[in-house]
Amino acid sequence: MDSFELINQVVRNLTLIEETDFKMKNNNALILGGLNYDYSDSIKNKENWPYGIAEVSVHNTRGKSNQWMYLPGTKEEAENIHRKLLNSGFESNLWCEGMATEFNFKQQCKKEYSPIIIHIATHAFYLSESNEALHPLMKSGLILAGANSAWSSNVAITGSDNGILTSYEIAQLNLSSTELVILSACNSGIGDIKGSEGIYGLQRAFKIAGVKYIIMSLWPVPDKATNELMTLFYEFWMEDKHNIRTALTKAQKQIRIKYPDPYYWAGFELVE
């Protein structure tokens, strides 16, 4: 058994994922990528930020800094996926730059039916050493447009938008019509481990919100290779009649030819 089959077998045994078909409920898709983290037109009302960003370990490759760096690969990734979905008959909405705010995302999820596919290519965060009194779902989340103002200055921004979409906030959304969420971001599958209760992070948040399938990463992922992997995934997924697992496996095998090191292709897993 080579490294590819071994890694997939181990992770599959750990997550207990079963092969199932993708069931279409609507044909709406929402694609986020190429976000401007300095966008601040809608930012208002600052108050103290409770997480102590400067004092914690923040896991966020696809760029490491107190400022979230622009990710060029996510813009290309989002545009490629948007085109593929449109060509396959989906009603795809592409949000880039300042469009992909936290406010806009939450408004989209307040509609009668949430998008059947949500693909988010951005930074994720996990505050591994923050205050233990803090709710565990407040320690992880996704970075959306305009987040740098709150993140770098240690202030929270209330009202319309702060750009920091926590797992706690995601868990409050109604995503019961969403079949698949892809978190094309570093460490999007990690979080606080609470004994037999499992991991408190983005995975749990999206499941609480009602999402059926989630593709997420187990470690930091490189921008360019992730763009190529996700583009291939959608190509294979459309061809395979919406068999998610087969499409992801085929994409990983093909990326492995170009990038043999498992770091580049084995980080993403499907959970149900």
pLDDT over threshold 50, residue 56: no
Quick: pLDDT tens for 94-147: 999 999 999 999 999 888 899 999 999 999 998 876 666 678 888 899 999 999
Q: In percent, how much of the chain has pLDDT > 90?
A: 54
Which pLDDT value is given to residue 99?
93
Which pLDDT value is given to residue 14?
41
pLDDT (average), residues 51-57:
34
Which pLDDT value is given to residue 231?
95
pLDDT over threshold 60, residue 3: no
Quick: pLDDT tens for 155-174: 554 444 689 999 999 999 99
Which pLDDT value is given to residue 155?
55
Which pLDDT value is given to residue 17?
40
Overall CATH class of domain 3-7+24-271: alpha beta
Which pLDDT value is given to residue 1?
55
How would you write the chain as a 3-class SS string?
A: CCHHHHHHHHHHHHHCCCCCCCCCCCCEEEEEEEECCCCCCCCCCEEECCCCHHHCCECCCCCCCCCCCCCHHHHHHHHHHHHHHHHCCCEEEEEEECCCCHHHHHHHCCCCCCCCEEEEECEEEEECCCCCCCCHHHCEEEECCCCHHHHHHCEEECCCCCCEEEHHHHHCCCCCCCCEEEEECCCCCCEEECHHHCEEEHHHHHHHHCCCEEEEECCCCCHHHHHHHHHHHHHHHHHCCCCHHHHHHHHHHHHHHHCCCHHHCCCEEEEC
